[in-house]
Structure 1
Amino acid sequence: MTAEIITIGDEILIGQIVDTNSVFIAKELNKIGISVNQITSIQDNREHILSTLKDANLRADLVIITGGLGPTKDDITKHTFCEYFEDHLVKDQSVLDHIEDLFEKIVSTPISDMNRDQAMVLSKSTVLFNKYGTAPGIWIEKDKTVFVAMPGVPFEMRSLMEYEVIPKLISDFNRPFIYHKTIRTYGLGESAIAQRIEAWEEALPAHIKLAYLPSYGSVRLRLSGKGDNEEKLKESIEVEFEKIYPLLEDILPSKDGEDQDIAMSINNLLASKQQSLCFAESCTGGELAAAFTLNPGASRCFKGGLVTYATKMKEDILNVPANIIEKYSVVSGEVAEKMAENAKKLFKSDYAISTTGNAGPAKGDSDVEIGTVFIGVATPDRVFSVEYQLGKNREQVVNKAVNKAFELLLKELNHN
């Protein structure tokens, strides 16, 4: 069974809001074996709605629409539906009773005829009860395609999906099972990984597909399969993953190969060793600490961090000797090492990571090239630093520096 999602509203097209509805709907449909083949955003415009419905009708078994069901004059979806489905609006008394009850108990403003008009639904449709709002959902069929329209308010849409749409899809249609499994790699680019696993990828069974999902410093590999037997489907995908682990074991953040954030892997390793960590940041501006504490349980091992952005603060707070800064530059391996070493002492931690670099767009207190970053690592046994050239884009430099810092620390933890 294939589906398309259509979102209606200028607010999406002009970038005023982010379309989170499609993400939620796609995930929920995928869970019950329905593949989403296309997502489309359009204006609340008669011609656009009609042409989009017509095109989707030719391609999909299920079309889910959000938005355009409000009470104001710019919401024309229901009237356009009447035209497309050759139908007319009728009053649904149960919806009207619900609307009047909401206004009586919750809404402070008086109810208007515009609000009552939301009880008008297509005569051929099945009404989907919206317990959190005044606009009901609509389920209607044409040429063997199911169309579901819901309001665009996210919490109303989610409730309708959970309590009305998904149960009805499950009861009305036979669906295959869809199963995904993802592992996350670090420190190697997409093309290099593809070369490593080329033979494995070419030997994948026809019902299993591989997707590469790259991001800063990380590439996720997702295997997806579809079949009628859930147990056999999962087993076949697990078998393929068992074959890939030996090919990538040096770039997996966790031994079991799960889709785990590298910061969480570090956290788990430190906690298992009963060891602690701190940060001394300059060019990353606190992003290391933010990324690490984003995961729950960071307090098990994270002692704290300092953002010594100004050169003087590196001297006054981290006790980096002025003569080292003068001799080697504030962006140097020597300074990164002193930052990490002294932060480790200050926080009385087992490990410390430091960052110092020139993220651009202009040079600061150092003449090094934009994109140059030194990362220092202090362990229980040694202190060292690594130099990186991370490009010219400021955001990219910072994000890459965070990932490189975590990669360095993870390697140390795995070797100790």
Structure 2
Amino acid sequence: MKAIIITIGDEILLGQILDTNSQYISKQLTRLGAEVIDILSIADDREEICHWVDYAMKRAELVIVTGGLGPTKDDVTKKVLADYFNTRLVMNEEVLKWIEKLLENGGMSMNEANRGQALQPESAKILFNRKGTASGMWFERDGKVLVSLPGVPFEMEDLMMQSVVPGLQHLFPHLQLDYRMLKVYDIPESELAIRLSQWEETLPEGFSLAYLPSPGFVMLRLTAKGKQVYNLDARFDGLKETLEGLHYTEGENGGTERELGELLLMKGRTIATAESCTGGNIAAQLTSIAGASAYFRGSVVAYANDVKERVLGVSREDLEQFGAVSEPVVRQMAEGVRRLIGTDYGVSTSGIAGPTGGTPEKPIGTVWIGVAGPGRTVARKFTFSFTRERNIGKATVKAIELVIEEIRGGNR
């Protein structure tokens, strides 16, 4: 089944918000076995919406539209779709009662704009929105489906999982597709591809392997289609055997940050970060895991030298003699944040992320990382790349890995 996703909103085209809806919807459709052949972002304009909806309906069996369902005059999606499917808008009493209740709970009263949101296309199946005032709509024509969802991400996601995915599974039970994910660390994509080339050549029809490189790791996605779905786990085990000796974690949401969190929980330990070149990215990764409050206590982003000195207690003499990007400084940063916040571990970074600031002695990509624990403080120097984003990403991964090593090291 071919699918097209359309996101509606001037704010997307102006770059004011990121189109995370398309990413989420595409992932869910892929899991169902649908082939997403196009993703479009268009303006809140009647002619534009009508044109691109017609284009999508001619090319795909499934079209999912998000956005343009709000109470303001520029939200015209519902009216355009009603005209496109030759139906009229009628008052839906159930939706109206829900909107009244939602507004009342928020201390607001119903107005005409809100009331207008209860007008729904007569021929559409209404998808009840538990999270907001904009209902979803399910249209069918000539064996094809168009689903219109609100643009607010958490409302859209809830409707996808509660209504759209089950509805598509019921309507298209023949679709089969599944995949498994691995994060492989500390090996370039090209070297990994060479290592896996022989294994990859033996994959039968219905399987595919994709390489998704990021700073510090390469994500591998093994996908199975059709009847091969039932052989996916066996092939996945074979992939892991081929990667023996490399550091990897399973799952698209897994990673070193999750591994560190599990270790800290198991040991009953806590951690804080003192970051310079990573700018809080380590803390962001650690707190991206649900339940991180059990072990993550806080962070100091000490970008300037005077902050390193005043807040973390780094020696001014060492800053002047060795510079901020040095072993003595990251050691003192890690010890300082551990002492300041009162944790079992402190991890620190100081480096030259680029694109400027490098010297022959300390080129761009030079990063020192320190870890202070109950038993000792360690520091290591790394030299990454010339790209700022990659340097920050790699330093983040390496810092988390170094903490993991220290926790597992014993005598602590």
TM-score (norm 1): 0.78
Matches of 2:358 and 2:208, distance apart in 1? 48
2:183 is matched with 184
Could you tell me which residue of structure 1 aligns to residue 7 of structure 2? 7
Aligned to 1:248: 243
Identity %: 40
Query: Deviation at 1:83?
Result: 4.6
Decide whether aligned partners of structure 1 residues 294 and 365 sit closer, same or farther in structure 2, where only a CA change above 3 A counts. Answer: farther
Q: CA deviation at 1:184?
A: 0.9
One-letter amino acid of the counterpart of residue 217, structure 1: G
Change in Cα spacing, 1:117 to 1:185, as seen in structure 2 (3 Å) is same
Following superposition, the deviation at residue 182 of structure 1 comes to 0.6
Corresponding residue number in structure 2 for 1:63: 63
How far, CA to CA, are the matches of 1:131 and 1:318 in structure 2?
A: 47
The alpha carbon displacement at 1:341 in A equals 6.9
Are residue 99 (structure 1) and residue 120 (structure 2) matched? no
Deviations 1:32-68 (A, max 9, x none): 4434333222122233223322322232211122223
Aligned to 1:74: 74
Contact conserved, 1:361 with 1:370, CA < 8 A, in 2?
A: yes
1:34 corresponds to which residue? 34
Once the two structures are superposed, residues 78-125 of structure 1 have per-residue CA deviations (whole angstroms, 9 ceiling, x without a partner) of 44335533x241535xx046426734773544543x655555544543
1:331-370 equivalences under 5 Å are: 331-337=325-331, 353-360=347-354, 363=357, 368-370=362-364
Cα 1:71–1:299 change in 2 (3 A) is closer
- Count residues with an aligned counterpart: 405
CA distance in 2, matches of 1:290, 1:156: 24
| Residues 355 and 51 (structure 1), Cα distance of their counterparts in 2 relative to 1, 3 Å cut | same
Cα distance in 1 for partners of 2:296, 2:204 equals 44
Of 5-14 and 306-315, the range deviating more from structure 2: 306-315
Q: Output aligned runs, 1:403-414, within 5 Å.
A: 403-410=397-404
Structure 1: gaps of 5 or more residues: none
Distance 2:109 2:70 in 1: 16
Give how far 1:396 is off.
Answer: 4.3
The 3 A distance-change label for structure 1 pair 250 and 339 is: farther
Secondary structure at the counterpart of residue 187 of structure 2? coil
Q: Secondary structure at the match of 2:262?
A: helix
Residue identity in the other structure for 2:66? T
Larger Rg: 1
- Secondary structure of residue in 2 paired with 1:38: strand
In the TM superposition, residue 188 of structure 1 has moved relative to its aligned partner by 1.9
Partner letter of residue 150 of structure 1?
L
> C-alpha distance in 2, partners of 1:189/1:274?
35
1:125 matches 2:124: yes
2:229 paired residue among 223, 233, 241: 233
Q: CA deviation at 1:77?
A: 3.0
Map Cα deviations across residues 304-330 of structure 1 (whole Å, 9 max, x no partner).
766555546656776666665554434
CA contact (8 A) 2:358 2:364 kept: no
Cα separation, 1, equivalents of 2:27 and 2:20: 11
Deviations 1:168-211 (A, max 9, x none): 33333323232121111122222221122111122212111212
**1:100/1:111 contact within 8 Å kept:** no
Could you say which residue in structure 2 is the equivalent of 1:216?
215
Residue 187 of structure 1 contacts residue 218 of structure 1 at CA under 8 Å; is this kept in 2? Answer: yes
Name 2:140's counterpart in structure 1.
Answer: 141
Q: Post-superposition shift, 1:157?
A: 3.6
Letter in 1 for 2:255: D
Using the TM superposition, give the Cα deviation of residue 268 of structure 1 relative to its aligned residue in structure 2, in angstroms: 3.2
**In the superposition, relative to structure 1, how do residues 382 and 247 fare at CA in structure 2: closer, same or farther (>3 Å)?**
farther
RMSD: 4.0
